[in-house]
Structure 1
């Protein structure tokens, strides 16, 4: 516990010294996000519509990370709208993938760990798998969407004579540059979290086919691929919405000056 407090204190000092007031706000947002996830897990136990609860939790996380940290502005508004649209597209896609892949439940590698627990928890593990993928995707799509919106906003401020088409194309190009690093981040997060599992597969002399068809492995790979698809989808959505909001605000400002 002392190590946890020490690391938290170091993180707070670094975030406050480098980020100033926004760094302190971001540090507090970590605990708010944890609280949202914690209560989401509790409500999943008591309520039947766990996917709806998870989507609400994702929206709350978006509100915290966008409006609490960065306040309400063109960048955060366009990001929030893009996240909502992307989640709506992803949820139908994830439903199909989960049903076809049958990744719900536990793999045979986990039998020893769960043998002492009761599996009659009254929760649909298929829905739990969907919620896991959604929750694992939300952070990546918020991150890349806000990066694109912020870059486009700065570009628009310094080049106000840009056309809608040029601004949209610039946003997509910015997204392309970020796309590779974001998907690699998802990949390395999986490798780091499941390095011991990969070593275990090696010790058990699993063939490549056994690893690919393992439920534990395939469920995580599907989560990574779903996150990558979400990241790819949100790039043109964010570019279009940001372009629309910036030019609409410009038109309204011009009309106010004329009146």
Structure 2
């Protein structure tokens, strides 16, 4: 019911936008600004907004052609909605600027948050380099490569809709696995074993994802964003394939972590005891894998649970709704499928990596 109401509301809003577009409504520009004053309305605003509760906000624009200019705007405040933007002096904000019939209007659109993302990202990179040294610097490189491959190449191909999204997902995952482990660990039999183990684990997760989507009748439309895209923007895209891609990429990082750990452990055992046999190498890899298995599987489950916490609260708060109905909702089953397919792929990668590493190192 909630999704239906949301869909109808968005339909109304967007259709209104279409009507406005037909009548050549003024485009909205967005600029950065800093709040310099928050206080009661002046007399002109009191007359204009006498039926609405709000406050006067003065903002100094910091970007665009009017950078440095201080503008006044009305900010609606009812103190009852969590969706209101309650600003104070010194806050960085995004300002919506509209120019219509020779009149320019300014409104607080949202907080300017991304500068703090730069700070966190910079701290992350700094700590990687300080504590990881040259390996940390190479880690920064492979993270950048992975993000470029996903956001530039993969997303672009999804929008173009020219190739099989399933095949494209597996190819991108393999490219990320190869690039990450070769750049960080160098060209060696250890790296080759980790790459092959990663590909094997991801393939297992991918097969289980396909089967889960088919037999659980998952649509991929488990979020508001997906429904919006399907309804208004990307109606030609199969969101079951998008769901598959999300499951595979979600498992990829954890599987890579496990496989390189096992390959490195088996390699070190071989270096210390060159005469060790194949079975003993496999056993060593499995012993390490068992220690990793519980914590990494739990890591995946906790990661999905953390991202789904509002959903869990929604379930827990529904006292009068059948748990049979809730447990079979598309969004609920999708989260379970994500967690379990990724964890099973991770578990299968452990013996696969141990065996491959032992095969590659047994004659060294």
Normalising to structure 1: TM-score of the pair?
Answer: 0.88
Moved more, 190-199 or 117-126: 117-126
Larger RCO of the pair (alpha carbons < 8 Å, separation 6+) = 1
Question: Which residue does the alignment assign to 2:239?
Answer: 125
Q: CA deviation at 1:152?
A: 0.8
1:1-259 equivalences under 5 Å are 1-38=114-151, 39-46=153-160, 47-107=162-222, 110=224, 114=228, 117-118=231-232, 121-205=235-319, 206-248=321-363, 250=364
Q: Residues 111 and 78 (structure 1 numbering): CA distance in 2 closer, same or farther, change over 3 Å? A: closer
Q: Residues 68 and 178 (structure 1 numbering): CA distance in 2 closer, same or farther, change over 3 Å? A: same
- Give the whole-Å Cα distance in 2 for the aligned partners of 1:115 and 1:125: 9
Contact 2:170–2:203, Cα closer than 8 Å, also in 1: no
1:26-61 CA distances to partner (integer Å, 9 max, x unpaired)? 122222111111121220121241111111110111
Q: CA deviation at 1:112?
A: 11
1:223-254 CA distances to partner (integer Å, 9 max, x unpaired)? 11001111111111101100011113x1xxxx
Which structure's residues are more often strand, by fraction? 2
Q: CA deviation at 1:64?
A: 2.2
For structure 2, the residue ranges without an aligned partner over 5 or more in a row are: 1-113
- Give the whole-Å Cα distance in 1 for the aligned partners of 2:230 and 2:259: 43
1:144-199 CA distances to partner (integer Å, 9 max, x unpaired)? 11110011111111122222111111111111110000111001101211112222
- Give the whole-Å Cα distance in 2 for the aligned partners of 1:84 and 1:197: 32
- Give the whole-Å Cα distance in 1 for the aligned partners of 2:317 and 2:224: 15
Q: Residues 194 and 93 (structure 1 numbering): CA distance in 2 closer, same or farther, change over 3 Å? A: closer
- Give the whole-Å Cα distance in 2 for the aligned partners of 1:210 and 1:217: 10
Contact 1:167–1:243, Cα closer than 8 Å, also in 2: yes
- Give the whole-Å Cα distance in 2 for the aligned partners of 1:80 and 1:115: 34
Normalising to structure 2: TM-score of the pair?
Answer: 0.63
- Give the whole-Å Cα distance in 2 for the aligned partners of 1:218 and 1:227: 14
Contact 1:164–1:247, Cα closer than 8 Å, also in 2: yes
- Give the whole-Å Cα distance in 2 for the aligned partners of 1:156 and 1:163: 9
Contact 1:104–1:128, Cα closer than 8 Å, also in 2: no
SS at match of 1:118: helix
Q: Residues 74 and 35 (structure 1 numbering): CA distance in 2 closer, same or farther, change over 3 Å? A: same
Which structure's residues are more often helix, by fraction? 1
SS at match of 1:161: coil
The CA RMSD over aligned residues, in Å, is: 2.2
Q: CA deviation at 1:23?
A: 0.5
